[in-house]
């Protein structure tokens, strides 16, 4: 006799994987203009709201509800991004182009996966190992707050990525990359300052009203709002891929991860069993990574200018 829960998990993961590949690798790339940014932000917000509402399935059906939520979220995500896609590009297989894209894209993919692993695997694994399941549940709530805060920066990054590639290919001047991002980054910074302040003030009331079982996550969730100014610089990280300097991007990520771990070890010496220590360590790691990325990009651009 088979195990139904294994089948449910496999089906949910299959749909989640298809959603991630089809959305991230194809549909998101079709959003390129400022108007597309508004549309993409709307889709991301609508998708986040739907995912939040589907949490009720977990409460209703437990593990099977969790799998159902993952499956339905994937289906909703594919539908929304597919239906509202601005460019309707037909599918065409060309082996030579696939090989070219694979050669360029694999380093980008591998470094991007390490960054994703840092965000979604490293800290949760440490919490589960050191603190246990209760703390893991509280951290999952804080993760939702961080993910919701990242919607604007991720949408802007997806829209401006192809525009950076186009500008660099057209003008051949690396300095145009930073200058073209100055305005959107300043706009994001202003929005995130407001969002961070509003989130800090609203979270205690929102959590007490809507999720009273997560009261212990109030202060850690507030601390996560310190990431907001750093999120405004997210579009800048695309420059590493545009100028094909994934090795430099990798070093910045590893530096941020190292600072994250060291900050966590220091914080835990003064405060054990406290989720806030993990959030402070995350903020320290992201700050170190962002600073390293900023100065590395400036140095790389200066070196390219000298070489040309």
Burial 94-120 (b: 16+ CB within 10 A, else e): eeeeeeeeeeeeebeeebbebbeebbe
pLDDT for residue 292: 95
| Segments making up each domain of the chain, as ranges | 1-92, 103-307
- What are phi and psi for residue 91, nearest 5 degrees? -75, 130
Give dist(CA 118, CA 259) in Å, integer. 12
Q: From residue 116, how far is each of 5, 123, 169, 190 by CA, in Å?
A: 27, 11, 28, 26
What is residue 52's predicted lDDT score, i.e. its pLDDT? 73
Per-residue confidence (pLDDT) for residue 1, from 0 to 100: 44
How far is it, in rounded angstroms, from Cα 160 to Cα 157? 5
In this structure, what token pair is assigned to residue 72?
């339905």
Residue where the block lists tokens 């999120």: 231
241's CB contacts (< 8 A; 6+ apart) are 108, 161, 249
Tokens of 274: 């406290």
- Rounded to whole angstroms, the Cα distance separating 37 from 191 reads 15
CA 126/CA 257 separation, integer angstroms: 13
Name the CA dihedral angle for 154, 160, 164, 167, rounded to a multiple of 10 degrees. Answer: 180
- SS3 label, residue 283: helix
CA 69/CA 21 separation, integer angstroms: 18
Secondary structure of residue 90 in the 3-state scheme: coil
Phi, psi of 105 (to 5 degrees): -80, -30
Tens of pLDDT along 216-232?
Answer: 888 988 999 999 999 99
Name residues whose C-beta falls within 8 Å of residue 302's C-beta, 6 or more positions apart in sequence. none
Is residue 32 a contact partner of residue 163, using CB atoms and an 8 Å limit? yes
- What confidence score (pLDDT) does residue 230 get? 93
Measured from the Cβ of residue 301, the count of other Cβ atoms closer than 10 Å reads 19
Give the separation between CA 267 and CA 101, rounded to whole angstroms. Answer: 43
Share of the chain above pLDDT 70, in %: 90
pLDDT of residue 111: 84
Where the chain has pLDDT below 50, the residues are: 1
Phi, psi angle pair for 3, to nearest 5°: -110, 110
Number of H helices, E strands in the chain: 14, 0
pLDDT, position 290? 95
Burial 144-175 (b: 16+ CB within 10 A, else e): bbbebbbbbbbbbbbbbbbbbeebbeeeeebe
Other Cβ atoms within 10 Å of 235 Cβ, number: 23
Q: Which pTM value belongs to this model?
A: 0.74
Q: CB–CB of 64/8 below 8 Å?
A: yes
């Amino acid at each position: 006799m088979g195990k139904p829960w294994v089948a449910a998990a496999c089906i949910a993961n299959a749909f989640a994987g298809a959603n991630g590949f089809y959305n991230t690798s194809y549909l998101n790339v079709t959003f390129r203009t400022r108007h597309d940014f508004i549309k993409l932000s709307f889709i991301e917000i609508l998708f986040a709201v739907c995912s939040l509402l589907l949490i009720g399935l977990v409460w209703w059906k437990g593990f099977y509800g969790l799998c159902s939520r993952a499956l339905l979220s994937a289906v909703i995500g594919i539908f929304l991004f597919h239906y509202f896609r601005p460019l309707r590009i037909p599918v065409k297989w060309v082996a030579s182009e696939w090989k070219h894209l694979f050669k360029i894209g694999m380093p980008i993919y591998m470094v991007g996966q390490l960054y994703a692993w840092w965000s979604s695997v490293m800290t949760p694994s440490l919490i589960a190992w050191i603190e246990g399941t209760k703390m893991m549940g509280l951290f999952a709530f804080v993760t939702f707050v961080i993910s919701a805060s990242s919607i604007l920066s991720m949408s802007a990054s997806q829209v401006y990525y192809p525009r950076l590639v186009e500008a660099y290919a057209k003008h051949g001047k690396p300095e145009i990359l930073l200058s073209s991002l100055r305005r959107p980054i300043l706009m994001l910074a202003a929005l995130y300052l407001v969002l961070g302040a509003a989130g800090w003030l609203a979270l205690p009331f929102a959590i007490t009203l809507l999720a009273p079982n997560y009261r212990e996550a109030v202060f850690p969730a507030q601390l996560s709002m310190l990431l907001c100014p750093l999120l405004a610089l997210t579009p800048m990280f695309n420059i590493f891929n545009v100028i094909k300097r994934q090795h430099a991007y990798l070093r910045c990520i590893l530096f941020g991860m190292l600072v994250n771990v060291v900050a966590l070890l220091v914080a835990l010496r003064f405060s054990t069993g406290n989720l806030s220590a993990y959030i402070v360590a995350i903020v320290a790691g992201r700050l170190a990574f962002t600073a390293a990325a900023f100065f590395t990009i400036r140095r790389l651009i200066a070196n390219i200018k000298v070489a040309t």
